[in-house]
Amino acid sequence: MPKSITSSSASMEPLRIGMIGAGTVGGGIYEIIMGRLRSQMKHQANPSKGFSNSSLRPCIISKICVQDITKPRSFQIDQDVTLVVTDIKSIVEDDNIDLVVEVMGGTEIAKTVVLESLKRGKSVVSANKTLIAECMNEIRDAALQSKSKFAYEAAVCGGIPVIQALQTCFAGDIIHVVMGICNGTTNYMLEKMEEGADYYEVLKEAQELGFAEADPTADVEGHDVRAKIAILAKLAFGTTVDVDSIPCMGITEISSVDFEYAKLLNCTIKLIGTAERLSDFGEHDGDLSVYVAPKLVPIPHLLSTTREAGNAVAIISANLGITSYTGPGAGRFPTANSVVSDICRVAAGSACSDPFPLISNIEIDNDYSSEFYIRISFHDELGIIRRVGELAEINGVSICSVLQNPIKDRMSADFVVTTEECKFSQVQRLCEDIGAQDFAHNVPLFMPMLQCS
């Protein structure tokens, strides 16, 4: 069994780390632990070639597991300290390994690595948001049963310390809303589209820059944000949300014309994950809604200022009002920095004993309420706006405003209606009804509209 992280002997012996995965983030982790921190703490140099300070154990990465040992790496491995292996079991089953860093990606093998390591008494640090979102209860149970630590700061918003904040900084508070721009790829793409770029043009550019994968589905369809908001919802409200049940709208249907109308409304467009207590008898005292959607964000709102591949999270709570966390949401060293911060907390004995400390039985109701933006593409004929108004009345939706740019092509034009607050299901049915009309080219695009708090 690994030696206790908090034992008196722990301060005398290095924390031995086994890292599974040595890609972009893994390389950054290795360079920070075995390079930068060692250099910064030269005055406390340790003969084991790790690093140390007065508050935590010295740390060394003693094993790295990779698929192909012969593959060139983007970082230099100190072979006097670190053994490179290809068998995951040589890390998980090694009693000399105290902590396992899982940065391999995927879920099937990664799940085995995480759960088996915890069961064997090893602490685990992971950046795997998909695994955590799908298996958070299993992971929590395994960590508590073995009294091991499970830390995952890098799983949401890369270098932004929002996990630690939610675990420790709101204990005496009540959170009403947590929402954020949690995907740098789509934020970069939407910013370029606001400048007039075509969706497919900017997607290609994002892929060339390394922001988007060859298969961008997880990013552009909102699946990446869906996993992250499920984790944030668990931390903020204590309720485990089935990831597949979360309504998820991506950015693939957005075009430059939507930014033209957004500008008329003094807004921009951002892909936002939201978890919010609905209001029943009082303010934010009802069920929990969790969803992902592009939103019209007022220019004065703090989320509107997040640029390029940046991330931002806003939390609204009873005591603090609005707090915000912004910074790089991905990248080699931002993500690695969060992993190393978790490692340091484990080494210092200050990591949370419960990875998900808040437990509740709040019911889930993802039929959220909002004001909505609806863009209708049509070929021109008499009575279109009247008919849209009739369909809105049938579906119980009150129209707030109608916007239309001058028509240049009567066979292909757009106009926008904004609604008063209504249910997601109501506007969804309204758009389906509009899409069935002869004048409509397709089912209209609709997006919730964020209000300045």
228 is catalytic: yes
Residue identified by tokens 């499970």 is 150
Is residue 89 classed as helix, strand or coil in its secondary structure? Answer: helix
- Contact 398/422 with Cβ under 8 angstroms? yes
Q: Which two tokens stand for residue 10?
A: 């722990």
| CA 180 – CA 202 distance, rounded (Å) | 22
**Hey, what amino acid is at 394?**
I
Q: Given the residues 228, 234, 270, 295, select the one marked as catalytic.
A: 228
Estimate the share of the chain in helix, then strand, then coil, as percent rounded to the nearest 5.
35, 25, 40
Between strands 369-378 and 445-449, the pairing is antiparallel
What's CA 34's distance to the chain center, in Å?
28
373: CB partners within 8 A, 6+ apart: 258, 261, 262, 265, 296, 416, 418, 446, 447, 448, 449
The pair phi, psi for residue 342, each rounded to 5°, is -65, -45
Question: How far is the C-alpha of 19 from the C-alpha of 23, rounded, in Å?
Answer: 11
Q: Are strands 288-298 and 267-277 parallel, antiparallel or unpaired?
A: antiparallel
Q: Token match 């890292």: residue?
A: 19
The answer to whether the beta carbons of residues 301 and 452 sit under 8 Å apart is yes
Pairwise CA distance, residues 132 & 120, whole Å: 19
Cα separation of 307 and 414, whole Å? Answer: 28
Could you tell me which residues are beta bridge partners of residue 316?
177, 322
Nearest alpha carbon to residue 129 among 197, 169, 180: 180
Residue linked to tokens 């990465």: 61
* Distance, CA of 39 to chain centre: 32
Q: What does the DSSP assignment read for 432-447?
A: HHHHTSTTBSSSPEEE
Catalytic site positions:
228
